[in-house]
Amino acid sequence: MARWSRAMRRRLEWTAPTDYAGGPLLPSGQLFPKGMGDNQLLQPSYSYSWGCDWAALTERLAQSKGPEAATLEAMQEILRQARPDHGTIHGPHIVGGAGYTHSIPNYGRVLREGLREHARRVEHGLSAARSAGDAARGEFYEGLQDVLAGIGGWHARLISQLEQWSADDGEQARNRDRLVRALAVVPFGPAETFFEAILAYNLTYYLDGCDNLGRIDQELWMYYDRDVRQGVLTRDEAVALIRALNDNVADNNGWSAAIGGASRDGQAGYNELTRICMEACVFRHRPGYELRVRRDMPDAMWRTCLDALATGCGNPALYNEEGYLDALGRADLGIAEQDLWLWNSGGCTETMIHGCSNVGSLDAGLNVPLVFDGTLRRELAREAGTFEELLAAFKNDLRLTIAEIAEMVNLHQKTKAVCRPQPMRSLLIDDCIDSGLEFNAGGARYNWSVVNIAGLANVVDSLAALREVVFEKNEKSPREMLAILESDFADLEPFRRRLGRCPRFGNDNPAADDLAERVARFIFEQFRQRRCWRGGRFLPSCIMFETYAHAGRAVGATPDGRMAGEPLADSIGPCQGRDTHGPTAMLRSVARIPLHLATGTPVLNIRFGKKLFSDSQGREKIRHLIRTFFDLGGMQIQVTVVDQAVLRDAIAHPDRHEDLIVRIGGYSTYFNRLSDELKQTLLERTDHV
């Protein structure tokens, strides 16, 4: 803790601040801009504590002499010692995460109290530790004092940067002068105005490493409401400031923010800032706004939400507020009732509690088709007697694999507590200061682990096909089916198409949906019954990002007709293009899965054509479709609005579609940034028109 706290202090004191170009917020732009050279050899990481450019370090060492070479050699050795291999998460089941840790600072505490109050609490803790002769706790608080000193030096340099900066016009000068005045107050003192509050929010975002914004409309609402009523802030000014903050998130490839849902008193938490956030995300791919949908969400919020989605930006994604509150309350996570309203999805969409969580997100994953592949090759080779025997063998393989994954994650968490302290998060996230415990050692109020479940639909379709073709109709023997799979359907295209006529998940077909419910429930419960080293339980999720293509490469041909190495399903929903009975049937199938057990977040992708959003009648259908899905037990849904013809043209002529945004995994991104393989999967998604 002492070493990494001092490192954080020195970085804040010496690293060049981000450039200022006359905008409304500072810092702005990339936290670590390209071309910083030596400043990027070693840098802090909000997930892993630190990151090192090993290649650049080796190159620099080869060019160095004397004291510089000795310093770099010492640093290299220290970093190697701080990277113990026995604590790493590895193997074939890393799907979207390997000990990754998103989190959300307690922004509201910084806004309401200022960092001087954090310093007072640190001083109080240090005094108590010294009185008790607790050296370890004393070192923890001394480390936080180093971090605060570093923030003070950084803050002073930001002000100096502004005072020395020459404006090109009157607007730039006004922005500069307003920033200087506000920085005299925040973040060390409480914010008094909306501008001071959003500036402190932005400062905290950069201090934390540019990760997540959290419950932004709730944290900023009282400042907005007061300033508008007093006539010192206009709505347009607030929109511009939120857009500037969004741009900073996008520049740093940052992640998400939650809006709407419940307020502290349990009532509807929608306000004018909720609408402003949705308006400000139009034509932007980041942050990923997560709209928490209650049954009493006002019509105005629905209209603004559908207006934003109609632009094709993929924002906001929609979350079932009542479903999450109920599921989290029953998940045995120890969440106090007064904290439940603060639930929020960090990173892309991994469930945590705003301001007081250390959630592995994602800690690890389970490549379900890879486990199934191993089961098939063993059981088909020995002429499995019945379908239920095959399914039982598969479940046993899942049980053993899940136990191994949980053990590996717990070893990683234990090692991280020793070797990977997080001084900044220990300062900004409750209850580290008050408990005297470092963030990775269990200091946050809530701790659990989100793990990713990949390829569920592939396995369900495969099981349905095996049951029909091998065990019910005896069209192929188990060994014949194994030979077909091992040949990767060589010269057997008619039979591969035959498999495509078997029941498919996503079409409201009980033959497939019942299997989906059985397999998903087993996997979810196997994870949830296990506890994490740092506290809490394992929460299953299905958040595929762009990893579903890579995850499929290690999996051989499967009985659903998928060929070896092809991508897996891109979400908790059906495999791309296999839902052929309309969106209602697809959503009814997904709702058959016990989604409340996958509270890490079961992401669901759906694609609509532009025409559905072109008039009020079409938008009302979308609204009722989403509301009904949530009433059936759906937890999350994210919408891509783009026509098939546009996607085809974007593949053929990428230069014409540089601003085309699509929803992928748990976030939005530019279509042109995707690999050709991933672009094809977007094209294969069912186009509901």
DSSP letter string, 22-36: S-SSSS-S-SS-TT-
Q: What pLDDT, on a 0 to 100 scale, did the predictor assign at position 39?
A: 61
| Residues 137-144: contacts with CB under 8 Å, at least 24 apart | 137/436, 139/1, 139/2, 140/1, 140/426, 140/436, 140/437, 140/438, 141/436, 142/2, 142/5, 143/1, 143/2, 143/4, 143/5, 143/6, 143/421, 143/423, 143/426, 144/5, 144/423, 144/426, 144/427, 144/433
Q: What is the mean pLDDT of the chain?
A: 94
Q: Per-residue pLDDT tens for 464-488?
A: 999 999 999 999 999 999 999 999 9
Question: In what side-by-side order are the strands of the sheet with 538-542?
Answer: 357-367, 446-454, 538-542, 601-602
Q: Has this prediction a pTM greater than 0.85?
A: yes
110-151, pLDDT tens digit by residue?
A: 999 999 999 999 999 999 999 999 999 999 999 999 999 999
According to the model, what pLDDT value does residue 437 have?
Answer: 97
| Distance separating alpha carbons of residues 310 and 352, to the nearest angstrom | 29
Residues 48-59 have a mean pLDDT of 88
The tens digit of pLDDT for each residue in 595-639 reads 999 999 999 999 999 999 999 999 999 999 999 999 999 999 999
Tokens of 391: 């399914």
Q: Residue 580: its pLDDT value, please?
A: 95
Does 38 score more than 70 pLDDT? no
SS3 content of the chain, % helix, strand, coil (to 5): 55, 10, 35
- Rounded to an integer, the average pLDDT of 339-350 is 94
Q: Which residues pair with 361 in a beta bridge?
A: 101, 450
